[in-house]
Structure 1
Amino acid sequence: MSVRVERDEKTGVAVVTLDRPERLNAIDLVTAAQLADAWRDFRFDDTVRAVVLTGAGAKAFCTGIDRATDVPQPPSPYSTDDPLLTVGPKANDLWKPVIAAVRGMACGGAFYLLGEAEFVVAGESATFFDPHTTYGMVSAYETALLAQRMPYGEVARMALLGTAERMSARRAYEVGLVSEVTPDGAELAGALRAAEVIAGSPTEAVQGTVRALWATKEAARAQAYAQAPHLIALGNLPVERQAELFEDRGKRGAEFRIR
């Protein structure tokens, strides 16, 4: 299993762990399906009242879609097959609160998950970046989600600088992407503490609050998502050229900086 689920019936908290540390917790089609299954299963499990989402290992929370995953695309700018659209809790009709615990890198497609979490707890050496433009891809869904959590200029800077710059956990806290910064290794415990408090409240009220919060963002997100497939189809380089840029990433000599 590339997604590990642990339930604590005493506290009412479940922990979902992306368990592919050898691939920096990148999401392949199997992982995407397992995430969707986990979120949908929680809807029917009254013992789970809050969820913590994290990644195995110290190097990465998640690095987006696995580059080895072959996802054929329709030959039309009006259609896009994006397996990451179904990996988040809200995409699977789960309104129990989800708290993300981030250690190491969180980049690219990781924002499909962070964007659908209620809030993020990060270890102090965690970094956030969006490599799409560096590799000739349009950042559309990721920026739509980030723009609902961060100021426009910060989202634009992250998306347009690509791999050249990584946002530190401290900066992410300052701009609102992260709600708490902990020492490295303590981010999971911090997220669990918050989840246990939330799980102790009446679940109907908690889920209603989550749904109300999400409703405040739905119209803008829906408009952005409606345009995303066309922008991606028109702006992405051919897959072969993307692969060349990705393979050349270690040869260009460009040093990233942490801000």
Structure 2
Amino acid sequence: MTISLERDEETGVAVVTLDRPERHNALTLAMARELGAVWRGFRYEDGIRAIVVTGAGGRAFCTGIDRDDAGRVPQPSSPYTIDDPLVAIGPKANDLWKPVIAAVEGMACGGAFYLLGEAEFLIAGETAAFFDPHTTYGMVSAFETVHMAQRMPFGEVARMALMGSAERVSARRAYETGLVSEVTEAGGALAAAREAAAVLASYPTGAVQGTVRALWSAKEAVRSQALAQAPHLVTLGNLPADRQAELFTSRRTGYRTR
């Protein structure tokens, strides 16, 4: 199983778990498709009024797309378009306006930001760490930085994206910059997220979903315009896949956490 679902009919809360701990919950193409289907399905489940998304195993929330699958995505020749299998893995991309809380333990990096960027808020265990390895391996961080620029100060997003694998943002620093709304003891993020989700699910549904929609409308225009630029920036700036693979193999350097 790669995506597991748990529904609590009493509280109205569902938990979506990326369930591939042996690969740090890296997303396969099948998982990406499954996530989209899960979010769309929740639109029709009136009994589910709030959702938590998390990763299994405690070592990672998600480490982006599985590199073994990434090379299987054919790309058009135009520099102005790209087929990105992670574009539609988030709830907002699938027109779901029920509140989603992310519970983060361990690593959250790269493509994980597609999911984190579309959650209402994040709760993290104290050992969680956020980073974006794209530049280290000759790839443009475009979609990821757009998502994070909606949640963090510009300078903090720029530093995380440009420093690549050399630096990780601790849960405490993520809290200080506004990316994370609450830091728990290690292993406590899911319980805290469930508790918050149960509160949201107990309120009148129309009021909650309307508030979610209003919050996103405040930044939707800027976000949409920025995401529209991402495909050709990726196409023009990325190194060829074979060169990326070489860098991935050779640049396994140490990092520091701040």
So what's the TM-score if we normalise by structure 2? 0.98
Matched residue SS, 2:190: helix
Q: How does 1:156-195 map to 2 (within 5 A)?
A: 156-195=158-197
Equivalent of 1:209 in 208, 211, 215:
211
Matched residue SS, 2:78: coil
Shift of 1:225: 1.0
- Residue 135 (structure 1) aligned with residue 137 (structure 2): yes
Q: What is the match of residue 151 of structure 1?
A: 153
- Residue 105 (structure 1) aligned with residue 104 (structure 2): no
The whole-number CA distance in structure 2 between the counterparts of 1:91 and 1:223 is 15
Q: What is the match of residue 243 of structure 2?
A: 241
Equivalenced residue count is: 256
- Residue 2 (structure 1) aligned with residue 27 (structure 2): no
The whole-number CA distance in structure 1 between the counterparts of 2:254 and 2:35 is 34
Q: What is the match of residue 255 of structure 2?
A: 256
Q: Which runs of 5+ in 1 are unaligned?
A: none
The whole-number CA distance in structure 1 between the counterparts of 2:112 and 2:144 is 8
Shift of 1:58: 1.4
Q: What is the match of residue 62 of structure 1?
A: 62
Percent pairwise identity: 71
Q: How does 1:46-57 map to 2 (within 5 A)?
A: 46-57=46-57
Shift of 1:53: 0.3
Q: What one-letter code is carried by the residue in structure 2 that aligns with 1:61? A: F
Equivalent of 1:71 in 52, 56, 73:
73
Structure 1 stretches of 4+ with a deviation exceeding 3 A read none
Matched residue SS, 2:219: helix
Q: What one-letter code is carried by the residue in structure 2 that aligns with 1:255? A: G
Q: Give CA deviations for 1:145-196 in whole Å, capped at 9, x if unaligned.
A: 1001000000000000000000000000000000000001111000001000
Shift of 1:255: 1.6
Matched residue SS, 2:87: helix
Matched residue SS, 1:82: coil
Shift of 1:71: 1.2
Matched residue SS, 1:78: coil
- Residue 91 (structure 1) aligned with residue 93 (structure 2): yes
The whole-number CA distance in structure 2 between the counterparts of 1:71 and 1:132 is 18
Q: What one-letter code is carried by the residue in structure 2 that aligns with 1:67? A: R
- Residue 29 (structure 1) aligned with residue 2 (structure 2): no
Q: What one-letter code is carried by the residue in structure 1 that aligns with 2:200? A: I
Q: What one-letter code is carried by the residue in structure 2 that aligns with 1:22? A: E
Shift of 1:249: 2.8
Q: CA RMSD in A?
A: 0.7
Q: Which runs of 5+ in 2 are unaligned?
A: none
Shift of 1:72: 1.5
Matched residue SS, 2:203: coil
